[in-house]
Amino acid sequence: MAILTILAQAIVIVFLAPLIQGIIKNTKGRLQSRRGPGYLQPYYDFVKFLKKDSVVSPTVSWIFHFAPYIYFATAIGAAALVPTVVTNAGVKFDNLLVLVYLFALGRFFLAAASLDAGSSFGGMGGSREMFISVLVEPPLMLALFTVTFSANSNSLSTMASAVTSAPITFSALLAAVAFIIITVAETGRIPVDNPDTHLELTMVHEGMVLEYSGRPVGLIFWASAIKQLVFVLLLVNLFIPWNLPGFDSQPFIAPWMFVKVVLAAVLLACIETSTNKIRLFRVPGLMAAAGVFSLLALIAQ
């Protein structure tokens, strides 16, 4: 039953991720006084990519061929582990370290594939991605440890169950601010990266996938959307788990969860619209601020 539950959860997250991506893009367009793409446009884009054949350089190795599938598989694994409506499915391996290193595994293979193609822009994007990941992981772990210490467990289900009934504290607010910054960086959004850029010199994630086309690039973009939704779910379940009066009963849990996810997506769109992309050497300062917020949240407990 536990395996069926996490499989069903993973399937729902996989097919819901493009919708959240569409909400973010549509909100950005409206905030910029544009019409913006439709909410379902990412679905059409993914179907278009999956129908196309890919053009592959004859010099690449097996890493280039398998990296999109490994990246997509790690995103599905993270989607199966993240706590959602069901916070106690009896899964023994829902450890936060497993979740973090699933993302690290996918990032490693994608960065290795960017170097494997021999493209200068791909190598530059891969090196920037690994540079940012080194800066993001310490504040990410600190932010998660704030919930771990309060729940006295590193199980994601136990952590989500513990914070559901916890009151709103100064420590929780500091951790939420830190995790919002981390989410912006991990999902490659402004001010750390621009997911819609076409300038090679400013690309980070997009630079790594320049050599991909067709089905592989569709899988990479879909996995990025899944990863984005997983981080949003972590945010609303572990750091902003608060319910409105009357919405904590069973029939309202799933709708209220969806509302919180949509609000978090709108928040990301607002952050992206109200800020500019910062230079790469200023990213350490932003991640240091997230680390300070996480450390203060730990101290304030």
Residue type at 116?
D
pLDDT at residue 188 in the model = 86
Can you name the residues that pair with 95 across neighbouring β-strands? 155
Angle of CA points 281, 135, 150, to nearest 5°: 140
Full pLDDT tens readout for the chain, 301 residues:
567 878 888 899 999 999 999 999 999 999 988 888 999 999 999 999 988 888 888 888 899 999 999 999 999 999 988 888 755 444 566 788 899 999 999 999 999 998 888 888 888 888 898 999 999 999 999 999 999 988 888 888 888 888 877 777 888 899 999 999 999 999 888 889 887 777 767 778 888 888 898 899 999 999 999 999 999 999 998 888 776 555 556 666 778 888 899 999 999 999 989 888 888 889 999 999 999 999 999 888 7
Cβ atoms of 162 and 151 within 8 Å: the answer is yes
Helix-strand-coil percent breakdown of the chain, rounded to 5? 70, 0, 25
pTM for the full predicted model: 0.92
DSSP string, 263-283: HHHHHHHHHHHHS-PPPGGGH
Residue type at 22?
G
- Residue tagged 């539950």 (tokens): 5
